């Protein structure tokens, strides 16, 4: 079974630029999550989708972050404009709902 | 979601058992106890979960205290590949709140 795919794996941008991350969940998984993991900390949930609807985006900084899940499958997370404190690993996870979450390898973002 | 407390780091020798403790004194009666681990440069990986009874799978065992205020993840024979950050979480499957976890160091 293929795992959660994420791209790119690494991204370096300057502050105030925009960036987008892509996630392809495990086939058939209805629930998709985006997490932010700052160095030395555990992952923090940004947004949760159930199919293509948002279930929880309470910790998403909506003034600069946006996310969508097209047709209930792939998802993109965008940051515009980026700040230095957005430097982190962005993790995508999926689950077949009410079961364990499967995480992708993450995208390491460096904002200079 | 239950707040969990774990030691910052633990050390073990290869092929020895490892007991990773977790305190979750505020856990509710319906909250599951989940364990995930994160190997270097990878996303977290599910290890095991339980509610009340002890649980075993191919990766580890989970021993849950009778009052459910604490639990222990048991790796029966540590290998170098088990070196990772281990997270203990309390709550439902969909709202995982990660702390800083326990960094497990395994020496040959």
Render pLDDT for B27-49 as a digit per residue (tens, 0 to 9). Answer: 888 889 999 999 999 999 999 99
In this predicted model, what pLDDT tens digit does every residue of A29-63 receive, in sequence order? 999 999 999 999 999 999 999 988 999 999 999 99
3-state secondary structure of B80: helix
Res B91: pLDDT: 84
3-state secondary structure of A81: coil
Q: Which residues of A touch B97 (CB under 8 A)?
A: 45
- Please name the residue of chain A whose CA is at the shortest distance from the CA of residue B98: A42
How far is Cα B17 from Cα B79, in angstroms, rounded to an integer? Answer: 10
Going by C-alpha positions, the residue among B8, B4, B6 that lies closest to residue B32 is B4
Q: Which of B41, B43, B93 sits opposite A99 (nearest CB)?
A: B93
The pairing of beta strand B61-64 with beta strand B70-75: antiparallel
pLDDT at B79 over 70: yes
Contact B43 A93 (CB under 8 A): yes
Q: Å from A63 to nearest chain B CA?
A: 23
How far is Cα A27 from Cα A100, in angstroms, rounded to an integer? Answer: 15
- Please name the residue of chain B whose CA is at the shortest distance from the CA of residue A43: B98
Contact between residue A39 and residue A14 where contact means Cβ atoms under 8 Å apart: no
pLDDT at A97 over 80: no
In this predicted model, what pLDDT tens digit does every residue of A8-31 receive, in sequence order? 999 999 999 999 999 999 999 999
Q: Which residues of A touch B43 (CB under 8 A)?
A: 4, 91, 93, 103-106
Q: Tell me what the mean pLDDT of segment B84-107 comes to.
A: 91
Looking at chain A, how many residues does it have? 112
| Average pLDDT of chain B to the nearest whole number | 93
Res A1: pLDDT: 67
Res B93: pLDDT: 77
Q: Tokens in use for A34?
A: 């985006």
Q: Which residues of B touch A91 (CB under 8 A)?
A: 43-44
Res A60: pLDDT: 96
pLDDT at A102 over 80: yes
């Amino acid at each position: 079974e293929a795992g959660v795919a994420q791209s790119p794996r690494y991204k370096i941008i300057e502050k105030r630029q925009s960036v987008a991350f892509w996630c392809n969940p495990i086939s058939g998984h209805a629930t998709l999550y985006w997490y932010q993991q700052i160095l030395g900390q555990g992952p923090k949930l940004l947004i949760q989708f159930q199919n293509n609807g948002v279930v929880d985006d309470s910790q998403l900084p909506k003034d600069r972050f946006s996310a969508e899940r097209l047709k209930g499958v792939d998802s993109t997370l965008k940051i515009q404009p980026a700040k230095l404190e957005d430097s982190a690993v962005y993790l995508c996870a999926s689950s077949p709902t009410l079961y364990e979450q499967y995480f992708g390898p993450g995208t390491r973002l460096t904002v200079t | 979601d239950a707040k969990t407390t774990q030691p910052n780091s633990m050390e073990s020798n290869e092929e020895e058992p490892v007991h990773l403790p977790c305190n979750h004194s505020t856990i509710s009666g319906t909250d599951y106890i989940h364990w995930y681990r994160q190997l270097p440069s990878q996303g977290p990986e599910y290890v095991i979960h339980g509610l009340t009874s002890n649980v075993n799978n191919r990766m580890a065992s989970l021993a849950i205290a009778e009052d459910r205020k604490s639990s222990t993840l048991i790796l029966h024979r540590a290998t170098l590949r088990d070196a990772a950050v281990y997270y203990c979480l309390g709550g439902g499957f969909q709202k995982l709140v990660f702390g800083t976890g326990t960094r497990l160091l395994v020496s040959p």
